[in-house]
A and B are shown apart, each in its own frame.
Chain A
Amino acid sequence: MTGEFGAPAAYIVCMRPQDILLPVAAGLCCKPGGFHIDPVRPVERAVITHGHSDHARAGHGAVLATQETLDMMRLRYGENFAGSTQAIGYGEEIRLGDVRVKFHPAGHVLGSAQIAVTCKDTCIVASGDYKDAPDPTCTPFELVPCDVFITEATFGLPVFRHGDAADEVKKLLASVALFPERAHLVGAYSLGKAQRVIALLRQAGYDAPIYLHGAMETITHYYQSRGIELGELRLVKGVKKAALAGTITLAPPSATSDLWTRRFPDPVTAFASGWMRVRARARQRGIELPLVISDHADWDGLTATIAATGAGEIWVTHGQEDALVHWCQSKGLRARPLDLVGYSDEEESETPLPDGAEA
């Protein structure tokens, strides 16, 4: 299945950064390397940063990604999700056409990577989604010095400061102690966020079984198979209502406001997301216990990272580009928004289950 990436490409003189990486309809295109990063449409050769479905799609000819990302794609799309695949480790470098490609940990979710693309003397880092906060379920973010840094801007406003996730988990546990007769339902994205919340609960000393919505099972077991300690997990399906009093259940965000919740005794609806920082967002969703836990860097994280990369030019994608571009410019950095379409915000939404689906 390997070898596709060894094919030579036409020789192009790399001078300007936009000659190396350019946004096109299918995604971020590297012409001299002959590949796209996180393409949103099927392409011949795709280099993928992480396993979230808007970045890792099925149907590409060849896919280069970390082993974990490839495994997650396989779990989601089945064996034939791509023509061929090639796994690459953190710190490993590979030559593609006229460029060198190197993967570095992004700290976003298990297997997530920043991709450094170097052509001649110019190094561009496409960071994908990243966070610089500690996370027991994935390799910590690594700072990669570069000339051009492509940053996400999901939480690109100074109002987004995420604080310590451990404090948010304490809030959850305090609520469980105060309302022992109620069930606590925690909405969390099934890939990454859910496992992080579970791991944080374990770190906080919570050793009771944690319940899972059916949609979380596969990916959570995969995390466990990669050696991530999550303690005793049980599926919520088939458990009697009364038995769920005083328990914690993790579910995809869309499920926490649906028919499915009727199996729980007087549930407290929590939601683990960076968006929970803003009250109107939480209230709009009818959340009773907002938990500010994010997979993305907050404002302080974004600005500190940008400054530390030493990059003189910053490209800003998906999220609140305006504020971050403005901040870069006020610091004397060249910055521009990068128009990439097709990346949803997995903090907010996840493909909802059909009404009443048994999960």
Chain B
Amino acid sequence: MNRFAELLDRLAYEPGRNNKLRLITGYFREVGDPDRGYALAALTGALSFKHAKPALIRDLITARTDTVLFGLSYDYVGDLSETVALMWPKTAMAAHNNPPSPTLTEVVTTLRTLGKAELPRQLERWLDELDETGRWALLKLVTGALRIGISARLAKTAAAALGDKDPHDVELIWPGLAPPYPELFAWLEGRGEKPVNRDPAPFRPVMLAHAIENTDFQSLDPADYIAEWKWDGIRVQAVAGRDERGHITARLYSRTGEDITGSFPDLVPSLRLAGAIDGELLILRDSRVQSFNVLQQRLNRKVVSPKLIKEFPIHLRAYDLLGDDENDLRELPFSERRERLEVFIKKLDDPRIDLSPTVPFASWDTLTAARADPASAGAGEDADAVEGVMLKRRDAPYLPGRPKGQWWKWKRDPHVIDAVLMYAQRGHGKRSSYYSDYTFGVWAEGDGGDELVPVGKAYFGFTDEELLQIDRFVRRNTTEKFGPVRHVVHEADKGLVLEVAFEGLQRSPRHKSGVAMRFPRISRLRWDKPPREADRLQTLEKMLKVEAAEIEA
């Protein structure tokens, strides 16, 4: 457990993806079965046991320490598990005997079977046996709050690296595996056969598109491509398959392979034909596609209430077919898959699942026009939910990852505003010596005349050269410092105007300005523009009104 805790501890501080991978792979290499398997399960969220309530942890510490000292410590540290982990006083006997600390396997298997009444005593024993970091990890684990910025995908990629395997292969066999994954590690280390996925409705690694640049078009022939609308929803894979008894199992996966079926129970009955659909999850009202803001009301919900289902009816718009009953279609060219898809959707004949239409075009000019005005190019009333067009090579097989030259996304031009840089914060990792996180604001009427109100934060979009320029500007124009944050000069005639691009707006009570941007990034530095000419809050509020009306509709 202490070794696993050490890994979690280090991961929690490491910002770089590749370095995280190295740390995890290093752990898998060093630690044997079954501990590493349970670690992989913990990192992928595959462990299940009843979590301990914070109140229980609090009771344990109160029984052992002075309440005033605990109060002062908790105030200082700010995190219950961490406070308890750090100040836990071992019993005199534990301190004297120095009992061996539990292994991760011991902890996980014990927690699985332990009765509720025995939990406090067991926890106490472990807390006595572990070191500070071990106690911290244990408490995070048992309270179900293991937030360390690792995705399941990353953990699986680290496992794959152990045997120089493609992460997609791990993803494919994953649904058939269970902790502590001995057959997976045996295969990765070349000691065993590749495990077979017996899941009737497995996830297939998704194919992604490259963003197209203006210069790319010259080398592309329109005749080689099929165009579709790019919908502003959520990319999903809807899979239905027959189990050994012939019953249909249906699952909905996110593009990273996370099983999200539980959040959309209303779609499951529609997935009655065995097959794997690649498509977009949308909300449809009166057969009209709603904006992403509307769809967002259905995301990250713990409870999916009947009311929610009724008010935000879910819909799947299909654009590819990866499997048709028992047949894997991924080797087929896209044009053939598309034909199979059309037949499949017709046969399914379900009001919740329809076909994403293609956009006819003969030249890049026609497509440019369609992208500029989707409404009159076939998208009709759904045009607001179109965020651009997709180009897919007719002869492209379905390849996992982001293969070159096969699929292109050509997004609608983003919204842009001119905002004023207000605060800058140092970045992390490679960027820790740069002021690379920017808070920017627009003008609004305040008590004492016009003032800037922050409307968002961005930390990318600029080139390396621009980063250097902004960094230099920040250092030379700092008016105050608060720890890692610098207050940068922002007056009517002094300051830096940033052109900020973003995908959409939302009302947000957490921001002083009342608005929050989706996907904001710095698109240009406006050295030429004095701050007084930056945009006003009203401009954003006007955009908001249109969107808000949609959510309530």
Contacts and interface: CB of A to CB of B under 8 A. Distances in A.
Interface of A: 157-161, 163, 171, 175, 178-179, 257-262, 266, 269, 277-280, 282-290, 320, 322-323, 326-327, 330, 355
| Ranked 8 nearest A-B pairs via Cβ | A159-B86, A158-B87, A261-B433, A159-B73, A323-B72, A159-B87, A286-B432, A288-B13
Nearest to A264: B433
A288 B483 contact: no
B180 to A, nearest CB: 24
Interface string B48-87: 0000000000000000011011001100111100110011
Residue with the highest number of chain B CB atoms closer than 10 Å, among A158, A269, A280 = A158
Contacts of A262: 433
A266 B429 CA distance: 8
Nearest to A158: B87
A278 B433 contact: no
A269 B484 CA distance: 15
B538 interface: no
A159 B83 contact: yes
B518 interface: no
Interface stretch (B19-27, B154-162, B414-422): B19-27
Chain B contact residues, majority secondary structure? helix
Contacts of A282: 13
Contacts of A284: 483-484
A158 to B, nearest CB: 4
A326 B433 contact: no
Interface string B123-167: 000000001100000000000000000000000000000000000
Contacts of A320: 72, 76
B73 A157 contact: yes
Contacts of A288: 13-15, 429
Interface string B1-25: 0000010001011110001001100
A279 B79 contact: yes
Residue with the highest number of chain B CB atoms closer than 10 Å, among A261, A280, A284, A323 = A323
B428 interface: yes
Given A258-B433, A323-B72, A286 B132 contact: no
A163 B132 contact: yes
A178 B78 contact: no
B259 to A, nearest CB: 31
Nearest to A262: B433
A283 B79 CA distance: 14
B13 A287 contact: yes
Residue with the highest number of chain B CB atoms closer than 10 Å, among A279, A282, A290 = A279
A327 B426 contact: no
A157 B72 CA distance: 8
B310 interface: no
B76 A159 contact: yes
Nearest to A299: B87
A178 B22 contact: yes
Given A158-B73, A159-B76, A286-B428, 20 more contacts: A157-B87, A159-B77, A161-B86, A161-B87, A171-B6, A175-B10, A179-B22, A257-B426, A257-B484, A259-B433, A261-B432, A261-B433, A262-B433, A269-B432, A278-B82, A279-B82, A284-B484, A287-B13, A320-B76, A326-B66
A262 B468 CA distance: 12
Nearest to B13: A288
29 contacts: A157-B73, A157-B76, A158-B69, A158-B89, A159-B76, A159-B86, A161-B132, A163-B132, A171-B6, A175-B10, A178-B22, A179-B22, A258-B433, A260-B433, A277-B132, A278-B76, A278-B77, A278-B86, A279-B12, A280-B77, A282-B13, A284-B484, A285-B484, A286-B426, A286-B427, A320-B76, A322-B72, A323-B68, A323-B72
Contacts of A175: 10
A192 B65 CA distance: 34
Contacts of B79: 279-280
Nearest to A263: B433
A257 B13 contact: no
A345 to B, nearest CB: 14
B13 A290 contact: yes
Contacts of B77: 159, 278, 280
B510 interface: no
B13 A178 contact: no
A257 B433 contact: yes
B69 A327 contact: yes
A355 B22 CA distance: 33
B475 interface: yes
A332 B68 CA distance: 16
B512 interface: no
Contacts of B89: 158
Residue with the highest number of chain A CB atoms closer than 10 Å, among B10, B13, B77, B82 = B13
Contacts of B66: 326-327, 330
B508 to A, nearest CB: 24
B430 interface: yes
B429 A355 contact: no
Contacts of B428: 286
Contacts of B430: 266
Nearest to B429: A288
A324 to B, nearest CB: 10
A178 B23 CA distance: 8
Contacts of A283: 13
Nearest to B76: A157
Nearest to A156: B72
Contacts of B131: 163
A20 to B, nearest CB: 30
Nearest to A178: B26
B134 to A, nearest CB: 12
Residue with the highest number of chain A CB atoms closer than 10 Å, among B15, B68, B483 = B68
A287 B132 CA distance: 19
Contacts of A171: 6
A167 to B, nearest CB: 9
Nearest to A269: B432
A323 B19 contact: no
Nearest to A279: B82
A285 B475 CA distance: 18
Contacts of A266: 430
A295 B67 CA distance: 28
A160 B85 CA distance: 11
A323 B429 CA distance: 35
A290 B86 CA distance: 15
A260 B434 CA distance: 11
Interface string B115-129: 000000000000000
A323 B69 contact: yes
A328 to B, nearest CB: 12
Contact of B475 (A323, A330, A355): A355
Nearest to A261: B433
A288 B19 CA distance: 11
A171 B13 CA distance: 14
Contacts of A163: 131-132
Interface string B499-518: 00000000000000000000
Contacts of A285: 484
A260 B66 CA distance: 45
Nearest to A300: B89
Contacts of A161: 86-87, 132
A278 B76 CA distance: 9
Nearest to B16: A266
A132 to B, nearest CB: 17
B19 A179 contact: yes
A104 B155 CA distance: 54
Contacts of A279: 12, 79, 82
Contacts of B86: 158-161, 277-278
B484 A323 contact: no
B86 to A, nearest CB: 4
A326 B69 contact: yes
Contact of A289 (B13, B73, B82, B475): B13
Contacts of B14: 288
